[in-house]
Amino acid sequence: MNKNDLIAKVAEAADLSKADATRAVDSMFDTITSSLTGGDEVRLVGFGTFSVSHRAASTGRNPRTGEPMQIPASIQPKFKAGKGLKDAVNHR
């Protein structure tokens, strides 16, 4: 399922126009993104938690040459599925 498919399903399920469903889906994505950018986590009970993970700098190896290379520190978005989502996927 891609974003357009998701918008179509939301429009149908919530009896919205596609334009309204597009605004709703885009707003949800923007809100989650801005919360994570601000360092907050987004907890949706029964669905899951979006958070950020801090990765420390490390030394790796270039797979082509085998030479050591420095991998910079970074911040990665993370999603942990909640019990309700796990149960729904496992009992389909």
pLDDT in tens, the chain (92 residues): 999 999 999 999 999 999 999 999 999 999 999 999 999 999 999 999 999 999 999 999 999 999 999 999 999 999 999 999 999 999 86
Under 8 Å between Cβ of 80 and 49: yes
Mean confidence (pLDDT) of the chain: 94
Closest alpha carbon to 57 in 72, 37, 35: 72
Report how far residue 5's alpha carbon sits from residue 57's, in angstroms, rounded to the nearest whole number. 38
Distance CA 79, CA 75 (A): 13
Supply the pLDDT for residue 92: 66
Would you list the domain boundaries of the chain? 1-40, 41-92
Q: What pTM was computed for the model?
A: 0.78
Instruction: Give the three-class secondary structure for 20.
Output: helix
* Angle formed at CA 25 by CA 23 and CA 30, multiple of 5 degrees: 90
Instruction: Evaluate whether the domain defined by 41-92 bears CATH number 4.10.520.10.
Output: yes
